[in-house]
């Protein structure tokens, strides 16, 4: 158990819908990272938050948004969903803000868009 | 845009050395990383190298960087069955993850 909790574990939704994925970092970790892993696009870094502020942005679509709340949990919002958004969405947390710091990964949320 | 390439598969015998190669296109890459992903799990950062270094060694892992050719390699000495996993090469423009790009991953199979 990494200490990082992602909910829900599985999500099936229709095209055009909006979903929210939640990540609770390990206790004491200030950084949260979001990643998307799919067969079509491989592994992509989406966004990084540190202590409530956006630190780095990757290949995150405009239809997607994220935030980190004062209690440090983070949510990834995906809207106007398309079939190609079907993927495993991972979050990770670390104590530090740097990408070279050890990060702990959640089990992921598997999103299926039908 | 930035691109990172890796061979998709590698098979080695237990006890041999494994060498996983990666090429990248972004000359402004500052940090280069190797991650490991075991089945059904998230990523584990194995090691990283800063772009002004040529080599980094950490126990059984050796990273070589040829900045001129934009080529990165990961050597695993005395490969064990527990090393079977997918290995991702990645690059970023800074240490916060800006312009972070992953390669497609190399599936390493270790044969007994």
pLDDT digits over B39-64, tens only? 888 888 899 999 889 999 999 999 99
Taking CA atoms, B25 is separated from B82, B101, B112, in Å, by 31, 11, 36
Question: Binning pLDDT at 50, 70 and 90, where does residue A71 land?
Answer: very high
Question: Binning pLDDT at 50, 70 and 90, where does residue B1 land?
Answer: low
Q: Can you tell me which residue has the tokens 């497609």? A: B104
Taking CB atoms and an 8 Å limit, are A56 and B97 in contact across chains?
yes
DSSP B19-52: EEEEEE--TT--EEEEEEE-TT--EEEEEEEETT
Taking CB atoms and an 8 Å limit, are B33 and A45 in contact across chains?
no
Between A48, A103, A106, which is nearest B96 by CB? A48
Task: Let me know: does A105 contact B41? Beta carbons within 8 Å.
Answer: yes
CA torsion through residues B16, B21, B32, B52, sign: positive
Give the number of other Cβ atoms within 10 Å of residue A104's Cβ.
18
Q: Can you tell me which residue has the tokens 């956006």? A: A54
Overall average pLDDT of the A47-61 stretch: 93
Between B48, B97, B105, which is nearest A48 by CB? B97
Taking CB atoms and an 8 Å limit, are B45 and A57 in contact across chains?
no
CA geometry: angle A108, A111, A113, nearest 5 deg: 170
Residue A99 confidence (pLDDT) above 80: no
- Radius of gyration of chain B from its Cα atoms, rounded to whole angstroms: 13
Task: Let me know: does B89 contact B33? Beta carbons within 8 Å.
Answer: yes
Residue B96 confidence (pLDDT) above 80: no
Taking CB atoms and an 8 Å limit, are A33 and B97 in contact across chains?
yes
What would the 3-class secondary structure string for chain A be?
Answer: CCCCEEECCEEEECCCCCEEEEEECCCCCCEEEEEEEECCCEEEEEEEEECCEEEEECCCCCCEEEEECCCCCEEEEECCCCHHHCEEEEEEEECCCCCCCCCEECCCEEEEEC
Taking CB atoms and an 8 Å limit, are A100 and B45 in contact across chains?
yes
Residue A34 confidence (pLDDT) above 80: yes
Q: Which of B29, B42, B26, B31 is nearest to B86 (CA)?
A: B42
- Radius of gyration of chain A from its Cα atoms, rounded to whole angstroms: 13
The pairing of beta strand A10-13 with beta strand A109-113 = parallel
Q: Give the closest-approach CA distance of B93 to chain A in angstroms.
A: 10
Q: Which of B35, B42, B30 is nearest to B102 (CA)?
A: B35
Q: Which of B44, B57, B41 is nearest to B90 (CA)?
A: B44
Between B96, B103, B105, which is nearest A98 by CB? B96
Question: What is the C-alpha end-to-end distance of chain B, expressed in Å?
Answer: 40
């Amino acid at each position: 158990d990494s200490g990082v909790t992602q909910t829900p574990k599985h999500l099936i939704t229709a095209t055009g819908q909006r979903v929210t994925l939640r990540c609770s970092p390990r206790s004491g970790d200030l950084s949260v990272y979001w990643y998307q892993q799919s067969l079509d696009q491989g592994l992509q870094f989406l966004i990084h938050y540190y202590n409530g502020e956006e630190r780095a942005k990757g290949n995150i679509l405009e239809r997607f948004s994220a935030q980190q709340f004062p209690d440090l949990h983070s949510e990834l919002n995906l809207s106007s969903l398309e079939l190609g958004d079907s993927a495993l969405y991972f979050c990770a947390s670390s104590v530090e803000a740097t990408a070279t710091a050890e990060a702990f990964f959640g089990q992921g949320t598997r999103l299926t868009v039908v | 845009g930035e691109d990172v390439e890796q061979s998709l598969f590698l098979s080695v015998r237990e006890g041999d050395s494994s060498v996983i190669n990666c090429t990248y296109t972004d000359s402004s890459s500052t940090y280069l990383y190797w991650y490991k992903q075991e089945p059904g799990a998230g990523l584990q950062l194995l090691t990283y190298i800063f772009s002004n270094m040529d080599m980094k060694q950490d126990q059984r892992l050796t990273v070589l960087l040829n900045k001129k050719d934009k080529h990165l390699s990961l050597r695993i000495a005395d490969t064990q069955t527990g090393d079977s996993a997918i290995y991702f090469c990645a690059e970023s423009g800074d240490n916060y993850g800006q312009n972070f790009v992953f390669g497609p991953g190399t599936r390493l199979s270790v044969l007994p």
